[in-house]
């Protein structure tokens, strides 16, 4: 089982879209996939037509046992997206009380990691959608994952957000004594705008090694798919957005660490 976290402290850069689209493509390829919504806004949860304001079983319950996770709890939180092999654990607005808390308070930093260990036999991939705020939820998702995917909108303000995210990763590296590989994915690219082409150029010169060579372009079909409540590959498999995410997934597969080498990232 592999755990990938999709994170960026900047909002609106395509985190949820990336989580749902990659998850959908993985499930379509035959893998058993679980999406975990850790964002109190619950966009991923709403995507699948579940209301994060209602008291459904949600990821919030994972954090209610002083950092421990009862073995039977994660299974009770899982819902189906309606697509084969694609499940999710929804968010609820209650998560907002945790969002800004520090992970060290009450030893809460490994809740998600314990959860993924409990579910290891049930899924091939767990993809975690995170809130754009540094706190216990983001720290948990970094601690639990094998790699981080950082969607970055190709515009100038987003580059600042990326710097913040990378500072967070450096800090987590010190406190968790663990280096987590990350991949920057340029999103919402529009080659007709100066802001897009310039910021892509800056990304390429500054973050070369950690940057995916492709881009995810602006594609209204991705937005339409979220309105329809189905993963983009179901809504329009031939759309440009889906094709570009498929090529990102190909790259992720090719560059994945072999399972036996993953613990080697421990410092």
* Site residues for ligand ATP per CB under 6 A: 11-17, 39, 41, 43, 132, 187-188, 216, 218-220, 222-223, 226, 241
* Residue with nearest beta carbon to Mg ion: 16
Note whether 16 binds Mg ion by CB under 5 A.
Answer: yes
177 and 184 in contact (C-beta within 8 Å)? no
Q: To the nearest whole angstrom, how small is the minimum distance from the Cβ of residue 52 to ligand ATP? A: 12
**Nearest residue (CB) to ligand ATP, 16 versus 199:** 16
Q: Which does 13 bind (CB under 5 to 8 A by kind): ligand ATP, Mg ion, none?
A: ligand ATP
108 and 67 in contact (C-beta within 8 Å)? yes
Q: Which does 147 bind (CB under 5 to 8 A by kind): ligand ATP, Mg ion, none?
A: none
- Give me the half-sphere count of Cα atoms (radius 13 Å) on the Cβ side of residue 83: 28
Note whether 15 binds Mg ion by CB under 5 A.
Answer: yes
**Nearest residue (CB) to Mg ion, 69 versus 88:** 88
Contact stretch for Mg ion (CB under 5 A) within 15-23, 159-167, 225-233, 243-251:
15-23
Find the Cα–Cα–Cα–Cα dihedral 126, 90, 114, 67, rounded to 10°.
160
Q: Which two tokens mark 76?
A: 């009770």
Q: To the nearest whole angstrom, how small is the minimum distance from the Cβ of residue 96 to ligand ATP? A: 13
Q: To the nearest whole angstrom, how small is the minimum distance from the Cβ of residue 219 to ligand ATP? A: 4
Return d(Cα 226, Cα 117) in angstroms, integer. 30
Partner residues linked to 184 by β-bridges: 150, 211
**Nearest residue (CB) to ligand ATP, 143 versus 158:** 158
Q: To the nearest whole angstrom, how small is the minimum distance from the Cβ of residue 250 to Mg ion? A: 24
**Nearest residue (CB) to ligand ATP, 14 versus 109:** 14
Note whether 21 binds Mg ion by CB under 5 A.
Answer: no
**Nearest residue (CB) to ligand ATP, 124 versus 190:** 190
Return d(Cα 45, Cα 32) in angstroms, integer. 18
116 and 63 in contact (C-beta within 8 Å)? no
Return d(Cα 61, Cα 239) in angstroms, integer. 37
Contact stretch for Mg ion (CB under 5 A) within 36-44, 81-89, 193-201, 226-234:
36-44
**Nearest residue (CB) to Mg ion, 52 versus 74:** 52
> Can you tell me which of 5, 43, 130, 239 binds Mg ion, judged by CB under 5 A?
43
**Nearest residue (CB) to Mg ion, 3 versus 69:** 3
3-class DSSP state for residue 216?
Answer: coil
Name the DSSP letter for residue 253: H
Give the pairing of strands 78-83 and 86-89: antiparallel
Neighbouring residues of 1: CB distance < 8 A, sequence distance ≥ 6: 116, 119, 120, 121, 123, 124, 125, 126
35-57 burial: b if 16+ Cβ within 10 Å, else e: bbbbbbbbbbbbbbebebeeebe
Q: To the nearest whole angstrom, how small is the minimum distance from the Cβ of residue 128 to Mg ion? A: 11
Residues at the contact surface with Mg ion, assessed by CB under 5 A: 15-16, 43
């Amino acid at each position: 089982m592999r755990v990938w976290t999709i994170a960026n402290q900047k909002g609106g850069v395509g985190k949820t879209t990336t989580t749902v689209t990659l998850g959908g493509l993985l499930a379509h390829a035959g893998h058993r996939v679980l999406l975990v919504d850790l964002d109190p806004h619950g966009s991923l949860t709403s995507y699948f037509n579940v209301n994060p304001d209602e008291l459904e079983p949600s990821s919030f319950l994972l954090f209610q046992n002083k950092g421990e996770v009862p073995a039977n709890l994660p299974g009770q939180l899982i819902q189906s997206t309606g697509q084969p092999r694609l499940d999710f654990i929804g968010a609820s607005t209650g998560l907002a009380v945790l969002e800004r808390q520090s992970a060290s308070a009450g030893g809460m930093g490994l809740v998600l990691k314990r959860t993924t260990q409990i579910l290891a036999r049930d899924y091939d991939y767990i993809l975690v959608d995170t809130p754009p705020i540094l706190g216990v939820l983001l720290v948990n998702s970094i601690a639990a994952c094998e790699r981080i995917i950082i969607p970055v909108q190709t515009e100038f303000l987003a580059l600042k957000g990326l710097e913040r995210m990378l500072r967070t990763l450096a800090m987590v590296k010190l406190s968790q004594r663990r280096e987590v590989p990350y991949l920057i994915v340029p999103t919402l690219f529009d080659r007709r705008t100066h802001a897009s082409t310039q910021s892509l150029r800056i990304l390429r010169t500054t973050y070369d090694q950690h940057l995916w060579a492709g881009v995810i372009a602006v594609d209204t079909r991705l937005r339409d798919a979220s309105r329809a409540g189905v993963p983009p590959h179901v809504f329009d498999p031939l759309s440009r957005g889906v094709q570009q995410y498929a090529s990102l997934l190909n790259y992720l597969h090719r560059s994945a660490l072999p399972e036996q080498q993953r613990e080697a990232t421990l410092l």
